[in-house]
Structures are given as structure tokens and as C-alpha cells.
Amino acid sequence: MDIGFTDYKEIYENFVISLNQSMTVTRFARHYLDNFPNKLPSDTREAFERELSKIAQLTIDSLEESGNEKVDLRLEFPSGDDLAPLVILAYTHMNFGISVEDINFDRITLSQRLIMIFAYMDAFLGDTIRIICRVEPSILKTNKKFTWETIINFRDYDAIFERMVDEFSYDFGWKNIFGKIEFLLERIGLEIPISEEDLRNLLIAENIRHAFIHNGGKVSQVLMDKFPGKFDSTVGDQIPIDEKYIRDLEEAVLNLGGSIFTSVCEKFYSIDPHNTENVSIHRTGHYDDNVA
């Protein structure tokens, strides 16, 4: 399938828009969930507090009836109840001995931004590899082979080609951010202005992202061994993240994405996107620190 410049432009624009959407939603969520639940609209806050009171009373009654030290309540809400996620979140924390007042929504929203930064970056890089494969199929030349049975099962050359692109991009997807950028630089020949230090910082951030997904955002021995001296803490401690760290990471990823888009356009489409109508390349911006 032929992929033109307009298609890749749309992929890049979706990458930038998606990152900014995630950034906006989580920053406002962070603002309104601060000092939870006091910043919620008054009717929502009152309804939430009523539900928690009901749960507390149900818990007390169930404990008294069963004589057990713990009780497992089954919470049911009407379909589409907007309050349900908040109540379930609070109840889940309470079950683990964490009071509503101690739920760290600031950390929750920041970690969600961190996770989505790499989710969108990974998607953009994967889509970029697919674009390059279709524009320059010779990149697919590897030592991989298909069996005769596999070839016969495909209808035509296009189907075989799409399978090759799928496997090539799948293999690319297993690389970490350092490996992906190194591949784009050395194998594809893109010109990406990024320093070793900046790339290492992205790799550290990617591993912090993994820690939030797989280890509750805590420092592990593996993480400390991988980046000696980076984490001034002990195994099991929470990895510190703040607004500035996430904000700087968003800027770094947006700038990296813009550089990759520019290099692909110049190398494979002979187009300078900076001088092309209706093309906007992300440039480093500034945030108002007073927002969220």
C-alpha cells in the first residue's frame, strides 16, 4: 500500500495532539483532585461522602455479624454512574489500609502522564517504521525466511509484504528507546539531533515508566543496578516524580518526535516540512506553572 507524505503528516499530527490531550486532561485532573475531595463540585462531593458513609456502616455491620476481622463487600452501582469510579477507588485504598485523605492523586496523575508519554511515543515510532518500510522496501532485507506453506497461505505479494512489515515493526517494538533511536540513526540513516545524555535521560524515564506499571512506582534492585548512582534511595522506596520532571520529559519527547518527522520527510519524501504549507512542527514551548 502506497503511503504518501500526507498520511505520515497525519500520523505525526495525531502524535502531537494525543500527547497534548493527555497532558491537558491529567493536569486539570491533578488540579481538581488536589486536597481530595474538597475541590470536587459540591453536589458530587456530598454524594461521594454519603456513599462512603454507607460503605463504612455496611462494613461495621458485616464485621459485627460475621465476627471476622475483615469483610469483602460487593459494591453495585447503576449503569453509567459517574460517582462509581471514585467510590471504588476510595474503597480499594481503604481495603489496603489507606485513608481517602492519604490517596496521592498528585502522584497518580503524574504517573499516568508518564505512562502515556511513552505509549504515544512508542506508537509514533512504530508507525514511522511502517511508513519507512513501505516507502523504501529494501529496508526489509534481512536473514528472515518464510516457509513455502506460509507463502501459499497468503493471497498475493501485497499480503506477504504486509506480513513482512508487521514482523519488522514488531521486532523494532521490542527495543528500548535507546535501541529504537540508535536503529533509526544507524540502520535507517535518519539525522536526529539528540545527545547521548538526552538519550540516556529518556532511557531512565522509560525505565521509571516500567517501574510504575510493574512495580507500583518503587525502586527495584534491577533499576539501581542498571543506573548506578541515579537513584539516591533504597529498594522499595517510591521513585520521586514531580510536575517539572514530567513537563520536561513531554517537551523532550515532542521535540524528538518533531526531529524524526522532519528527517523522514527530508530523506524519504524530499520535503522540508518547515517550509511546507499546513505543516506545524512542535517547538519547545513554555507552561504556566500556576496551572494544575
CA atoms of 19 and 94, how far apart (whole Å): 32
Q: Where are the domains of the chain?
A: 115-275
- Long-range pairs of 268-271 with CB within 8 A, sequence gap ≥ 24: 268/131, 268/132, 268/135, 268/136, 269/4, 269/5, 269/8, 269/135, 271/5
pLDDT above 80 for 179: yes
Helix, strand, coil shares of the chain, percent, nearest 5, are 65, 0, 35
pLDDT digits (tens, 9 = 90+) for 186-204: 999 999 999 999 999 999 9
CA atoms of 196 and 93, how far apart (whole Å): 41
Question: pLDDT confidence of 146, banded at 50, 70, 90?
Answer: confident
Question: What is the predicted pLDDT for the residue at 192?
Answer: 95
Mean pLDDT of the chain: 86
**Distance set, CA 267 to CA 5, 135, 175, 187 (Å):** 12, 10, 23, 13
30 or 267, which is more confident: 267
Angle CA 109–114–116, to nearest 5: 95
SS3 (DSSP) at 218: strand
pLDDT above 60 for 110: yes
pLDDT above 80 for 80: no
Question: What is the predicted pLDDT for the residue at 78?
Answer: 56
- CA atoms within a 13 Å half-sphere pointing along the CA-CB vector of 213: 12
What are residue 218's phi and psi, to 5 degrees?
Answer: -105, 155
Question: What is the predicted pLDDT for the residue at 292?
Answer: 40
pLDDT digits (tens, 9 = 90+) for 232-264: 889 999 999 999 999 999 999 999 999 999 999
What is the reported pTM? Answer: 0.85
CA atoms of 221 and 235, how far apart (whole Å): 6
Mean pLDDT confidence for 78-93: 77
If phi > 0 it is left, if psi is from -120 to 50 it is alpha, else beta; for residue 241 that is beta
Task: Pick from 65-74, 82-91, 237-246 the range whose average pLDDT is largest.
Answer: 237-246
CA atoms of 26 and 292, how far apart (whole Å): 9
Question: What is the predicted pLDDT for the residue at 287?
Answer: 44
Question: pLDDT confidence of 286, banded at 50, 70, 90?
Answer: very low
